[in-house]
Amino acid sequence: MDSKKALAEVEDLMDELDALLKNPDVGAQLAEAGINVSLAMVAADGLRAYLRGDKARAADDLGTVAEEIAARLEAAGRDAKDRSKEKPS
């Protein structure tokens, strides 16, 4: 497979991912699983940038996603800890 065709296929795949992430049914399923679609879209943008060779944009997008996920995990851990300290009703 020549490199231009391979890169075009990767672009097509990323376009399909974008379309899926924008699909309301997919979004509902992801949300039900606790996945933030907006963050997933930023992550996909970061991956697309990396695959295009735009490493600075990729680092920015993927770093933003990593920071946000880590913050949400930490907040969820704090919430769980706070709930465990509550007296049963």
Cα separation, 40 vs 22, whole angstroms: 10
pLDDT in tens, 8-58: 999 999 999 999 999 999 999 999 999 999 999 999 999 999 999 999 999
| Residue in this structure with the two tokens 């990729």, named with its chain if needed | 58
Question: What is the C-alpha to C-alpha distance for residues 32 and 24, in angstroms, rounded to an integer?
Answer: 12
Q: How confident is the model at residue 77 (pLDDT cuts 50, 70, 90)?
A: confident
Does residue 14 contact residue 51 with C-beta atoms inside 8 Å?
yes
Q: What is the pTM of this model?
A: 0.83
Task: Indicate the number of domains in the chain.
Answer: 1
- Domain range for 43 is 3-85
Amino acid identity of 70? A
Structure tokens at 80: 């769980």
